[in-house]
Structure 1
Amino acid sequence: MTTILQVLPELETGGVERTAVDIAQACTARGWRALVASQGGRLVEELESVGGEHIFMPLASKNPFVMAANAGRLAEVARREDVSILHARSRAPAWSALHAARKTGTPFVTTYHGAYGQKNPLKSLYNSVMARGDAVIANSHFTAGLIRDRHGVSGDRVTVIHRGTDIDEIAKVPAERIARLRAAWGVEEGERVVLQLARLTTWKGQGVTIDAFAALDPALRKDCVLILAGDAQGREAYVAELEACIASHGLTGRIRLVGHCADVAAAMNAAEVVTVSSIEPEAFGRAAVEAQAAGRPVIVSDLGAVPETVLAPPQVAADERTGWRVPANDPAALSKTLSEALTLDARDRDALCARARANSTRFSLEAMCDATLAIYSRLLG
């Protein structure tokens, strides 16, 4: 039996983790065995519900001694479970997986998920493991360019596979689920939600969104609520900073930090407008695709891979846009565009949202899974 072992730090929340579960489900649907090694987390239960098997291992550690021990553990698993492919999705566990693959002769796949910081030769070496796979998956053309420029790897070894989204699931959320989530957030009937759905970390730009919302005309803002949904992952100092920023604008209660959101599909459908306000490049930016799949106007920072997911001038004509791209870390530009999105007339909004839904289908879950499993099959001959 074909057995795929995916390796990542943990199964808590985020695009890396979500993709690992999605690929595991695709493997089991094909009759393959899907193993995932990680330090565990809230997505383990879902992994197991789709037929995957979880192997606990301290793979979030960057301690060299723990990483070396993990290499031995992964090699043991590869031999014991007759693993066909080792697929690493993050740097520290990728070093362990690379050594395990070499010890056992197992084909090694990597997915370059992020625009990793690279400020010195040591960091370059650390990042390079993600370009050492027998096959290297880039989650966008932007990421493929980073791999080429940083590591000199291109051609047949690098394949662009955009992150996949369950378009149908997002497009067909029952009204009760949306209403339940709005109620959980304390949103009253008639209030419009401006949503940013991202883990709480500085580079995601929640502070920019707060400042932009505060700069809206009060008459426009009076029926709006800004929801910042996302897991702080222990960044309590950043949470306190955001709360202080909200208070300084006199918008406590009007801007809400609601924590982790498990129902992304309902969240996107609950929104009037979605923002992706990152101040550093997104290697892909799945939230922008999810917003379009829900037929919601989306405003994104013009960085990284977003030109691949959100169509806007000058890339396309104004009447072909599927959202807006604004300069990063520019609250004034974001506020101006947010005002435009919130005041669209019904006809223009419906046309925009229809284009957005059509555009989102380019990033389907099925396309991602089929392309990934095709790489596995190619490596196995």
Structure 2
Amino acid sequence: MRKLTVLQVLPALQSGGVERGTLEIAAHLVAQGHRSLVMSAGGRMVAELEAAGSTHIGWPVGRKSLLTLLLIPQLRELWRREQVDIVHVRSRFPAWVVYLAWKGMSPEHRPHLVSTVHGYYRPGCYSRIMTCGERVIVISKTIQDYVQKAYHVEAGKLQLIYRGVDTSQYTPDYQPDAAWQQAWYAEYPQTRGKRLLLLSARLSRWKGAAAFVDMLRIVCRQYKDVHALLVGEIASDKQAFARTLQQKIHQAGLADSVTLTGYRKDVKQIMSMASIVYSLATEPEAFGRTTVEALSLGIPVIGYQHGGVAEQLAALLPEGAVQVGNVAEAAMLTLNWLEHPPEVTPNTQFSLQVMQQRTLEVYQAVMADAGQGAS
């Protein structure tokens, strides 16, 4: 099989599921002997990307400015110089820049184009660009249905590839090592000896932080050995919301029972110590990586029954699904599970290894189509 040069393009490599998926595909390409390039404005994940053998190209391709279109000639030159076989776009504005550069080249001299629809982009011409690929990857059945309904993409172009976790690393018997636990309890002594309830998400209203606090009002009235963790980045434009949330926590009398950790790289270790993990996003998640990570660790998840999270729960823990917005139902289920923890079905459906291999197969299929004379 021919060795490929694949360029993935996204705005930045700071944090998040899209970014993590980019690194996972990059690592698999390198492991299989292919050449992996990633273009972004940079971020804290670049070092990890490069350590795994990929090359990072630090261009501000996600900057929403007409000036970014000046990169189009440079993109074409880069593709020629680096002999790029596949360009894989993962975000709308970079996709427009890439597409304009790609469309202006003759088919026999341009790379092949793949796109991934990672979310519920607002319908319209701007978002339609994410269906521009010769193959369009969708990350859940929910997103597949959405793309077909909103953009009428021909079924043959769509490829459903669930996001996945490394099921050799995320196992029900995983425990963080003693050194990590010692460092954790030194930083968060208030969590020692407590049963942990975890919401892991960037801090924002739609991700369910306020609903989580409302639920804790009910739970903490009955259980004093519970401590809640809100683990996730607090973006600069969410500082006001964070202050409002802190006030809500204090007014509820929960100041000693809730900790906001901010961004953490060790979410896996934290989740493995939790009694229950939550997904309370008011808008449906396209997939919900944190949920499947927790379930793979054997940690029960309570989540709103919509989006990709509903698909995961249906497969691995159906009783964890609650009606969207029903805080009381989530609280009652929490109280029940603190007494009688449920068994989580082992994760065989949402595997990182399957996701990596199937993505590589998409790249190879596009190349094979070209070899058979497809335009």
Q: AA paired with 1:366?
A: Q
Counterpart check, 1:116 vs 2:121? yes
TM-aligned CA deviation for residue 139 of structure 1: 0.3
Counterpart of 1:157 in structure 2: which amino acid?
A: K
Contact 2:220/2:226 (8 A) holds in 1? no
Q: What amino acid does structure 2 have at the position aligned with 1:380?
A: M
Amino acid at match of 1:145: D
* Corresponding residue of 1:64: 66
Tell me the equivalent position of 1:233: 235
Q: State the match for 2:327 in structure 1.
A: 331
> Aligned residue for 2:112?
107
Contact 1:322 1:352 in 2 (8 A): no
| Cα distance in 2, alignment partners of residues 33 and 379 from structure 1 | 17
CA displacement, residues 18-44 of structure 1 (integer Å, 9 cap, x when unaligned): 000000000000111111000111100
Whole-Å Cα distance in 2 between the matches of residues 330 and 186 of structure 1?
Answer: 32
Which residues of 2 match residues 240-259 of structure 1 at below 5 A?
240-259=243-262
Q: CA contact under 8 A between 1:173 and 1:265: conserved in structure 2?
A: no
Report SS of the residue matched to 2:79.
helix
% same residue = 34
CA deviations 1:78-122 (Å, max 9, x no partner) are: 11111110000111111111122223421110000011234xxxx
CA contact (8 A) 2:303 2:310 kept: no
Asked if the contact 2:113/2:134 (under 8 Å) is kept, the reply is yes
- The verdict on how the C-alpha distance between 1:169 and 1:321 changes in structure 2, with shifts beyond 3 A counting, is closer
| Rounded Cα–Cα distance in structure 2 between residues aligned with 1:182 and 1:116 | 41
Q: Residue 70 of structure 1: CA displacement?
A: 3.2
- Report the number of matched residues: 358
Structural mapping, 1:128-167, within 5 Å: 128-167=128-167
Whole-angstrom CA distance in 2 between matches of 1:248 and 1:216: 16
- Evaluate the alpha carbon distance shift between residue 182 and residue 139 of structure 1 in structure 2; reply closer, same or farther with a 3 A threshold: farther
Q: What's the counterpart of residue 292 of structure 1?
A: 295
Which of 364, 367, 376 is the equivalent residue of 2:351?
A: 364
Q: Distance in 2 between matches of 1:270 and 1:179?
A: 13
Report the secondary structure of 1:362's partner residue: coil
Give how far 1:170 is off. 2.2
Output the CA distance in 2 between the equivalents of 1:150 and 1:73: 33
Question: What is the TM-score with the length of structure 2 in the denominator?
Answer: 0.91
Query: What is the CA-CA distance between 1:194 and the residue it aligns to?
Result: 0.2
Q: How does 1:315-330 map to 2 (within 5 A)?
A: 321=317, 323-330=319-326
- Indicate whether 1:189 and 2:189 are aligned: no
Aligned to 1:32: 34
Supply the AA of the counterpart residue of 1:281. P
Q: 1:293 to 1:187 in 2, by over 3 A?
A: farther
C-alpha contact 2:191 2:227 (8 A) present in aligned 1: no
- Please state whether the residue corresponding to 1:361 is helix, strand or coil: coil
- Partner residue of 1:317? none
Helix, strand or coil at the partner of 2:30: helix
Shift in Å, 1:241? 1.5
Please state how far the C-alpha of 1:184 moved relative to its aligned partner: 3.1
Structure 2 counterpart of 1:276: 279
Deviations 1:242-297 (A, max 9, x none): 11111110111311110011012212102111001100011111111011111111
Structure 1 residues 73, 184: closer, same or farther in 2, change over 3 A? farther
Aligned equivalents of 1:178 and 1:290: distance in 2?
19
Question: What RMSD over aligned residues (CA atoms) do the two structures have, in Å?
Answer: 1.7
Matching residue's letter, 2:119? G
Q: 1:200 aligned to 200, 203, 219, which one?
A: 203
Q: What is the one-letter code of the residue matched to 1:61?
A: R
Tell which deviates more after alignment, 40-49 or 239-248. 239-248
TM-score, scaled to structure 1: 0.90
Distance in 1, Cα, partners of 2:323 & 2:367: 44
Q: Are 1:178 and 1:269, in contact at CA under 8 Å, matched by a contact in 2? A: no
| 1:273 aligned counterpart, secondary structure | strand
User: Given the superposition, is the C-alpha separation of residues 154 and 141 from structure 1 closer, same or farther in structure 2, using an over 3 Å criterion?
Assistant: farther
Q: Tell me how far apart the structure 2 counterparts of residues 203 and 248 of structure 1 sit (CA, whole Å).
A: 21
Distance in structure 2 (CA, Å) of the matches to 1:185 and 1:328: 32
What SS does structure 2 have at the residue aligned with 1:167?
A: coil
Task: Report the counterpart of residue 91 of structure 2 in structure 1.
Answer: 90
